[in-house]
Amino acid sequence: MSLYVMKFGGSSVGDTERMKRVAKRIVEKQDEGHQCVVVVSAMGDTTDDLIDQAKLLNPEPPAREIDMLMTTGEQISMSLLSMAIHQLGRSAVSLTGWQAGFRTEPVHGKARITNILPDRVIAALKEGQIVIVAGFQGMTEDGEITTFGRGGSDTTAVSLAAAIQADVCEIYTDVDGIYSTDPRIVKCARKLTEISYDEMLELANLGAAVLHPRAVEYAKHHKVHLVVRSSFNYNEGTAVKEETSVEQGVVVSGIAYDKNVARISILGVEDIPGVLAQVFGALAEASVNVDIIVQSGVQDGKADFSFTTSLSECPQALEVIHGLKSRLPYRDVTSETNLVKVSIVGAGMISHPGVAAQMFDVISKQGVSIKMVSTSEIKTSCVIENGNLEQVVQALHTAYNLDTDAQVFVGGPQERR
């Protein structure tokens, strides 16, 4: 008997008919002789609807109360799914994140898991029950309810799989698996049969929305057998694993993009030791995440440098920079928001020179200027103007031979996790 963790996202449980279909699938898994722990997200657009209601009452609601509100969406899903399973004649029990043993740091909105005490989950499994756990949520040692941020149900599923030593963690979504790029942009995108943890982590961090980065980190660290597959059909999914077989001639495995990009430039800063430490230290204290950093040449003792951050954090970053001017004089500060980051990812890039040069050449032939560049062993990212996104992604996909043997995409709207 194998132990499965099965995670279903918001579109998979979006209404009662889909809920019935998910319940049937879980029962089928149990009929195959497996124990089942199920993690669920809020139904459909429930989370967005709750946020909209909150902001009608208070444009800047307290973070603690937002967490209290947000966790109700997953609790609705878990209880309804448990009822659907009972209707099929099976025993199931629903548990909130804290009942399932998730303990977190005392941060609202994006808490990290500090410990998992899954005694209640294990006890229910021993009684032959199907266990339904609300994703995205936990509790501090002081009894405060917290949430993990968007995509947090993925993290719930993978970390719980590690804690109970599950044989497999299946992430059910609205696509057949991991694709070489977004199949809504490139119709001939290739579905991957497998991908390494490192490649998937890069793709997730760079904008691929199928898996949350923290979930991939947990899977890599704890060697969780992770599979991404569709909840709408029985097609084989994509295995995320430690090592994968390298397909002949494939250097780049996937192309990701992130529209949530802003660039801030600080101009005319005194070129003295410690300047960058002051700026980025202040941003870190304000919990502003910084991605790409570029410093230009020095002229007359003054330097210019730029960095990227998320669109949502751009106003806060600008506020921090303006607050530094009294002790760190600069000539001007500017920001751009009509940007997108396009990235190529592939383990084969390590041993193949010229991959980045090819990317720059492909983008230039589209008549597109590259504003910033970032590289690592297995990825290269370019920041470009947003209006050129689709043509650049398609051109890169073709240039790196990812169109070959492409499969037909089967899927619906982007999954809510």
The per-residue pLDDT for range 300-347, each reduced to its tens digit, is 888 899 999 999 999 999 999 999 988 888 999 999 999 999 999 998
Confidence of residue 249 (pLDDT cuts 50, 70, 90): low
Cα–Cα distance, 129 to 59 (Å, whole number): 43
DSSP character at residue 61: -
pLDDT of residue 68: 97
Cα–Cα distance, 365 to 352 (Å, whole number): 22
Confidence of residue 151 (pLDDT cuts 50, 70, 90): confident
Question: Would the pLDDT of 113 be above 60?
Answer: yes
The arithmetic mean of pLDDT across residues 395-417, rounded, is 63
Higher pLDDT among residues 45 and 150, named by residue: 45
> DSSP states of 134-153 as a string?
ESSEEE-TTS-EEE--TTHH
Cα–Cα distance, 171 to 209 (Å, whole number): 13
pLDDT of residue 404: 62
Mark out the alpha helices in 96-251 (DSSP H runs).
119-126, 152-163, 197-205, 213-222
Residue with tokens 């963790």: 5
Pairing of strands 137-139, 145-147: antiparallel
Question: Would the pLDDT of 371 be above 80?
Answer: yes
The arithmetic mean of pLDDT across residues 285-289, rounded, is 91
Pairing of strands 302-309, 238-241: unpaired
Instruction: Share the mean pLDDT of the chain.
Output: 91
Kindly state the percentage of the chain with pLDDT values over 70: 95
Residue with tokens 């950093």: 293
Sign of CA dihedral 268, 274, 280, 283: negative
Q: What is the largest CA-CA distance in the chain?
A: 79
The separation between CA 412 and the C-alpha centre of its own chain, rounded to angstroms, equals 18
Confidence of residue 244 (pLDDT cuts 50, 70, 90): low
Which residues lie closer than 8 Å to 416 by C-beta, 6 or more apart? 9, 10, 11, 41, 42, 44, 45, 47
Question: Would the pLDDT of 287 be above 90?
Answer: no
Confidence of residue 413 (pLDDT cuts 50, 70, 90): very low
Question: Would the pLDDT of 408 be above 60?
Answer: no
pLDDT of residue 247: 56
